[in-house]
Amino acid sequence: MSDFPWGAFLGALPFTVLAVVVVLAVTFGFATRLGRHSVIDTAWGLGFVVVAAVAFALAAGVPYYVVTDGSPPRVPPPLRPWLLLVLTAVWGIRLGVHIGIRARGHGEDPRYDAMLAKAPGNRNVYALTRVYLTQGVVMWFVSLPVQVGMFEVPFVGWVGWLGVAVWAVGIFFEAVGDWQLSRFRHDPDSRGKVLDTGLWRYTRHPNYFGDACVWWGLSLLAFDAWPGIITILSPLAMSGLLAKGTGKPLLEKDMASRRPGYVDYVRRTSGFVPLPPRKRTMDPSTGGEAP
């Protein structure tokens, strides 16, 4: 078995960086024309798909095994690269379509409005440096397990198949959670209420939890062979951003200010990992719910 093709992998990195730059440049052009920088949320998942496709194309034909009987190098069927490409594409396209449909007909996202209101000068330049550049770096860094996995030996072991199972759990939580939330938002009777049924009964953020599982699953596919494990900081970074960074905290701060029942929902429902809801305790002195 040959060693990991470091030369081919390192030679591919400038092209994956370029892929991220092109995706965000096109997105920035559309956003400035529409006057809505939240377009980048739609492009987020699609950008990962482009990076995966570029890495897949550049890894194609790299010999993984050398036959010792004097015949030319043999290239086995590229199962791992195909799995990484297809699973990334299913996740990224679904997410992009979902966010695009959800944002259709709406103006700028209030989160971006609040951020861009702090711009000391041109809002577009401020968005380019604070939003696009930051998301571009994160996109490229988080996608490193996929990039490395494209160049690893293509046979998949038990760790890789475990990754596929974790990915499947993640896509289920993300897709079903988004579907349940969409139904809730379009139900007139839900106005002013908090969604606490379905997957949302067990975690306040089934879609964010699913997103984290998706990237741990893809990363396990890379960890299945050397040198995938060296990219472990990538899924850790993604999980941290979702649970403690720009994902969960910002959304919960906004929800608590707009929905009176959200504080109680937070009290009884797990913040990230799905768990059985905590039972409400009653204060015997008041007959009401204990704080």
Residue 77 has pLDDT above 50, yes or no: yes
Confidence of residue 34 (pLDDT cuts 50, 70, 90): confident
> What is the average per-residue pLDDT within 158-168?
98
pLDDT tens column, 98-107? 999 988 878 8
> What is the average per-residue pLDDT within 41-60?
96
Write b or e for each residue in 65-93: b if 16 or more Cβ atoms lie within 10 A of its Cβ, otherwise e. Answer: eeeeeeeeeeeeebebbebbbebbbebbe
On average, the pLDDT of the chain sits at: 87
pLDDT tens column, 176-226? 999 999 999 888 888 878 899 999 999 999 999 999 999 999 999 999 999
Confidence of residue 282 (pLDDT cuts 50, 70, 90): very low
pTM of the predicted structure, to 2 decimals: 0.89
In this structure, what are the phi and psi dihedrals at residue 276, rounded to the nearest 5 degrees? Answer: -60, 140
Provide the pLDDT for residue 290.
44
